[in-house]
Amino acid sequence: MIERLGFGAAPIGNLYREVSDDDARAVLAEAWAAGVRSFDTAPHYGLGLSERRLGAFLRERPRDAYRLSTKAGRLIVPHTGRRAGTDEANGFAVPDDHVRLWDPSLAGIRRSLDDSLERLGVDRVDTLFLHDPDVHGLDEGLRLGLPALARLREAGLVDEIGIGVNSVAAAVRAVRAGDLDVVMIAGRYTLLEQPAAEELLPLCARRGVRVLAVAVFNSGLLASDNPTTAHYDYGAVPPELAARTERLREVCTRFGVALPAAALQYPLLHPAVDQVFVGTARADEMRANAAHLATTIPGELWTALREERLIPEPS
């Protein structure tokens, strides 16, 4: 079993492109064969498609053999207006027969969990995250959503509660405001950039809050052979970050280490980071990720990256 690597299921919700049911199942089977036992999804991913596909796979495995997390805050409700055809404006190649409705209230969070359990076809998830409150209304999300999550935990409906965001400032506010078990921070503690290191990671360490680093390839930039065609934060790559990626690649090459291997292992060097999660819809990429995690990386590589000011000195 690989304890420090988790599978992020956004890609099997047709993130950026259509993925067949067979390919989705194949990448999940590859992750399982590699020893991955932590899986994360969300209603947002493909308007429920990711949850349905992941659930169909996990229902064939013993429930106590894996950890499962999903997210709440966005309800998925039928589209009542005129349909545009697809959900590509939100990044997913699925029909737009449903829409997302922001509702961080206790009733909304509970309904979201119940809907997710139905789509997943399981009786429980281990962890429930408040999803992207910084996108829809951080004040309302923290004021309503965090107490709602705590109520579900108190009722024994979930084991852990947390927040899943891209914003370091939002994560810091959430940790200070709520009694959270875990923070999922996307793209903000990676080999490319480390804004979470200044305040968020030390805060979580002091409070005993687990940190899950996700989007550690910065939406594919650190995993691509050609960064000019990759994404950054689900959009175009700024030229300065493409240049920084090339500098990182050059140093890694000097030590015979693949850039994705360094990118996957770097967040785990921080004592506050418990796991990294990566998402893919391709079985060969999943196999490569498992190999990257097993790669032995010489300490001299990290020293060289620090000397060239590409990563900060450890705090």
Quick one: average pLDDT of 302-309? 97
- DSSP, residue by residue, 216-250: TTTTBGGG-SSGGGSBBTTBPPPHHHHHHHHHHHH
Average pLDDT over residues 185-191: 97
The pLDDT of residue 54 is above 70: yes
- CA gap 183, 105 in Å, rounded: 20
pTM for the predicted model, two decimal places: 0.95
pLDDT reading at 253 higher than 70: yes
Q: What tens digit of pLDDT does each residue of 15-53 get?
A: 999 999 999 999 999 999 999 999 999 999 999 999 999
Give the chain's domains with CATH numbers. 5-307 (3.20.20.100)
49 in Cβ contact with 115 (< 8 Å)? no
pLDDT in tens, 73-130: 999 999 887 666 899 999 999 999 999 999 999 999 999 999 999 999 999 999 999 9
Average pLDDT, the chain: 94
DSSP string, the chain: -BSSEEEE-SGGGTBSS---HHHHHHHHHHHHHHTB-EEE--TTTTTTHHHHHHHHHHTTS-GGG-EEEEEESEEEEE--S---SB-GGGTB-SB-SEEEEE--SHHHHHHHHHHHHHHHT-S--SEEEEE-HHHH-HHHIIIIIHHHHHHHHHTTS-SEEEEEES-HHHHHHHHHHS--SEEEEESSSSSS--GGGTTHHHHHHHHT-EEEEE-TTTTBGGG-SSGGGSBBTTBPPPHHHHHHHHHHHHHHHHTT--HHHHHHHGGGGSTTEEEEEE--S-HHHHHHHHHHHH----HHHHHHHHHTTSSPPP-
**pLDDT tens profile 129-168:** 999 999 988 999 999 999 999 999 999 999 999 999 999 9
pLDDT digits (tens, 9 = 90+) for 164-177: 999 999 999 999 99
Q: Which residues are catalytic?
A: 45
The predicted pLDDT at position 228 comes to: 52
